[in-house]
Amino acid sequence: MTTEVKIRLRSNADDTELRCLDVKIGRKTITTPTKAISTNNFYKDTSFPEELSDLQELFMRFNEDSLKKLNEDTKESVKKNNKLARDKKKANNSPHFCLLEFKNKGEDWRYPIESEIEILTNTAYSHSEITPIPSIPKVARKLDANNFESFVEYIDACYESIEVRNKKSIMGYIPATAPLFSRILINYYLDRGINTFYVDYDGTMITSRLDSLNAMKRELTKRGYEENNFMHFVNVSYGKSINDQKVLSARDILGFGYGLDSLGGMHAGPKGDPAFFEKLKAMKNVQANVKRLLNIEDYGYYRFDLVKDKLEDLYPKDALIKKEDLDIGVNSRVEKYLKIVNLQQQCLEADKLVQITDENPGKSLDYFKSKKNVVETDLKRLSKSTT
């Protein structure tokens, strides 16, 4: 039977929602804010610092065919298990959980059937120290008052499937949806002893969902869980990276300032009409726009092709990848190198925010203000005096 995760509040910022928690996952305790490591872009020889390996997010996407193959094909099952084992080792065997996404084939959306739910929850349970409810983004995008009850029935089916034989805590799944539905889901999970959640922003910015985030926080406070909760956030956008802008503000990192605890990866793919994206590719250099370098000194994501010849002031001195290695000329390798460097910088910045929260709780807003690429509207939203 599931039990609540043990969470202890270490410190709160006075002027933003930034907070610092000690959260027990498996046999270890992690400290938030933290950046969850994803090793999908690692090469065989990538050595990630153990001191930055607080938490690992594993991720797998399935449709009906790939899920059936995982369940019935011994070679496929062994292959997936071995890959996940290697991924865990690359992240220094840090506390981990496995996010699963189900997207059925075709344009129409549907819920996983009972047998598919069994496979999904068994896989998530087998590769997690805290078991996440699998996500269903194609369904979640269509939620409204008329069909939300069916979504709760899906969540309930996943919960019951995990509870058949469960010795771990469960992580609730909250999609990017309206405030009413977010409140209902928070109460559903709390009623069942679940106090950790992952919020899927589905490629949108946190600021576009502030009403839902605040609704969840209010409900947690009403239930006496204001600080006894852990929120992991995934698929959060720092802006429209397809835009032809040299620098975009690091709005994903600002998520910590809104009281979110752990930053996950970006797994959301294109949404909508495929013809639109083909037209977009013809109008914009999408590949160049999404290939960006993070500078945590000013919270800017810089379009790499526009700054690669002037990296002296932008490139991190402590980067895992040498600056010279980015001259390799192979686009796919450069893109992976940048993601490794950005991951390291996100981890370092999360650690810095822990320090700010512990040592200067009244100066967190000033700290965000010191980053020149943080825009004024975001600072106003972050400030406790205006929210």
Looking up residue 67, the CATH number of its domain turns out to be 3.20.20.105
Of 302, 205, 287, 311, nearest to 248 by C-alpha is 302
**Within a domain: 77:** yes
What are φ and ψ of residue 127, in 5° steps?
-120, 25
Tens-digit pLDDT string for the chain (387 aa): 899 999 999 999 999 999 999 999 999 999 999 999 999 999 999 999 999 999 999 999 999 999 999 999 999 999 999 999 999 999 999 999 999 999 999 989 999 999 999 999 999 999 999 999 999 999 999 999 999 999 999 999 999 999 999 999 999 999 999 999 999 999 999 999 999 999 999 999 999 999 999 999 999 999 999 999 999 999 999 876 556 789 999 999 999 999 999 999 999 865 655 555 455 455 456 668 889 999 999 999 999 999 999 998 899 999 999 999 999 878 899 999 999 999 999 999 999 999 999 999 999 999 999 999 999 999 999 998 744
Provide the domain count of the chain: 1
**Within a domain: 2:** no
Quote the pLDDT of residue 305.
93
**Within a domain: 1:** no
Provide the Cα torsion 386, 180, 197, 168; round to 10°.
150
**Within a domain: 46:** yes
Cα–Cα distance, 233 to 231 (Å, whole number): 6
**Within a domain: 58:** yes
Cα–Cα distance, 244 to 236 (Å, whole number): 20
Quote the pLDDT of residue 284.
53
- Residue 361, domain extent: 7-386
**Within a domain: 167:** yes
Quote the pLDDT of residue 387.
43
Quote the pLDDT of residue 240.
60
**Within a domain: 255:** yes
Asked whether the beta carbons of 222 and 187 are under 8 A apart, the reply is no
